[in-house]
Amino acid sequence: MRRIGIDVGGTKINIGVLDEYNNICGRVEAKLPPDKSAEGIAEFIGKLLKTHFSEMPISCAGVGIPGTVDSTGRIARKVPNIGWDNVNFADILEKHIGIPVTLIQDSRAAAFGEYMAGAGQNRNVLVCVTLGTGIGTGIVINGSIFDGGLGASGEIGHLPSGDEGRECGCGKKDCMECYAAGKGIELSAKKVFGEELSCNEVFELANNGDIRAGKIIEDAVQRLGKAMISIINLLSPDALLFSGGISRQKELFVNPLIDYIEKHCYSTNGELPFIGAAKLGPDAPMVGAALAAKCRAKSKGKISASMMCADMLHMEEDVRELEKNDVQMLHFDVMDGHFVPNLMLPAEMINQIKKITDIPFDIHIMAENPEQYIEKYNVCKDDIISVHYESTPHIQKALSSIKQKGAKAAVAINPGTPIESIREILDDIDMVLVMTVNPGFAGQKLVPQCIEKITRMRRFLDGLGYTNIEIEVDGNCSFENIPKMMNAGADIFVAGSSSVFDPKLGIEKAMVKLREIIEP
């Protein structure tokens, strides 16, 4: 199946279809419609896709947005150049095109596209600056898009630059893009020439030797160059790339910009990052958006009933009730009183329950040296055993032992463990268990930043090509939290006292309510 990338710019839309080898196999470019509302643009995109790509099998769409996007990839928070604020554009567009939609800030899409398929391949820290109507910057660090603590990293276009009081679409004045981006060049041209000229017309004049136009571009280059030097000195990337429409202007803009940076940038032993135009050029945001799209089929979601919350004196009755209500998995917590401050569910008990049901088991080992526990369980190919990344220095050995037992292998990570920690074992696992509470006890409150962590985990896995690895979440999977977790990219939900085993509802009513949530 193919995926589609849609780059919504300040003045135009660039759409391309990528095949399974990340090659562009179809494309169309068009000016933005007069109606720049979310509904207007979604309807316009729908018509373009129907006209140009109706015969192509497309699984999903990624949309580059020229502004801030929330962590779920659904809501365009602030898009100054087309006037959007807190718009759920993913939902709106899905109604018009009928496939899953993921939003990503266009500059981050450009960086991700270059990292995956362009000049940023095999780099560790990549900075990609998109030069168009505005200026945006995407940062990729070790395979993950860097969003920043508040989700607004890379807003170089809104650094203060100048003192003429030029109004920016963000509500501030004298932002960098008011001087060094396409709209800034146009504002400078109006001041110098006394008439409105397009950015392309200014470059054409400069190409023909117009000194005034040349000075406008030179000023833009120097302003942007100073910002780029700050970025290099701060982050020490090994690649700095330029994409977007203005990146086509190599002789007048990109080459002088590179010269300015190399001349003024701090370096150690003369070593500088690779600096150049993005290999994908103006297509970088479109390609990156397509690659960042969540192309996995939308699953209905699976419920793994947390058996530590079941009635221990009537365990078989609860298992039968769960069978009757088609729960997909039974989740068993194994605790040693050392790795976590609790003791729970011995192997003998888990093996006895295995004799009375065919529901797949989801065994979560929260214990030091998990290798010593794996051999104790009677498991089959549909069962999963999870071990904590933090619990053993021999994580690959533990995962290998699970595979040898014939079960699926999974790694669990605590709320404070970085997602990048598991990169070296992705070939060894079938599932990642993201803890959304600190492990050890039922009934805890959700660690709120873990919802965003699920999104980053899904993006991390998909970006490295591991779309087949499922994400399970464990911790306060309540009726209220499961929709957020599902929207963030989770597939399996460990449901305990706040849902499946809610004493006020009982298992049957709780499962009915859960199915209404995960099987809309």
Give the range among 361-370, 388-397, 459-468 with minimum mean pLDDT. 459-468
Q: Do domains 119-278 and 302-518 have the same CATH topology?
A: no
pLDDT at residue 20, rounded to an integer: 75
pLDDT tens digits for 195-226? Answer: 999 999 999 999 999 999 999 999 999 999 99
pLDDT tens-place string over residues 488-512: 889 999 999 999 999 999 999 999 9
Task: Give 295's pLDDT tier (boundaries 50, 70, 90).
Answer: low
Q: Which residues are catalytic?
A: 333, 474
**pLDDT above 60 (res 296):** no
The superfamily (CATH) of domain 119-278 is ATPase, nucleotide binding domain (3.30.420.40)
To 5 degrees, how large is the angle CA 245–CA 247–CA 253? 120
Cα–Cα distance, 60 to 350 (Å, whole number): 41
Please list the residues that pair with 31 across neighbouring strands.
12
Strands 58-65 and 101-105: parallel
pLDDT at 490: 93
User: In residues, how long is the chain?
Assistant: 520
What DSSP assignment string belongs to 488-514? HT--EEEE-TTTTT-TTT-HHHHHHHH
Would you identify the CATH topology of the domain 302-518? TIM Barrel (3.20.20)
Provide the pLDDT for residue 173: 93
Q: Which of 141-145, 215-219, 477-481, 510-514 has the lowest mean pLDDT?
A: 141-145
Q: Confidence class of residue 466 from pLDDT cuts 50, 70 and 90?
A: confident
Query: d(Cα 492, Cα 43) in Å, to the nearest integer?
Result: 34
Q: Which of 452-456, 473-477, 507-511 has the lowest mean pLDDT?
A: 452-456
Which pLDDT value is given to residue 225?
95
Task: Please tell me the CATH superfamily of domain 2-105, with its number.
Answer: ATPase, nucleotide binding domain (3.30.420.40)
pLDDT for 71 equals: 78
pLDDT tens across 376-433, in order? 999 999 999 999 999 999 999 999 999 999 999 999 999 999 999 999 999 999 999 9
pLDDT at 7 exceeding the cut of 90 = yes
pLDDT in tens, 35-59: 999 999 999 999 999 999 988 888 8
On average, the pLDDT of the chain sits at: 91
What pLDDT is recorded for position 513? 93
Q: Which residue has the higher pLDDT, 440 or 437?
A: 437
Contact (Cβ atoms closer than 8 angstroms) between residue 19 and residue 299: no
| Residue in 460, 395, 414 with CA at minimum distance from that of residue 145 | 460
Q: Tokens for 381?
A: 């190919």
Query: Is the pLDDT at 519 greater than 80, yes or no?
Result: no
Q: Using an 8 Å Cβ cutoff, are 496 and 309 in contact?
A: yes
Confidence category of residue 289, pLDDT binned at 50, 70, 90: very high
Q: Give the domain ranges of the chain.
A: 2-105, 119-278, 302-518
**299 confidence band (pLDDT: 50, 70, 90):** low
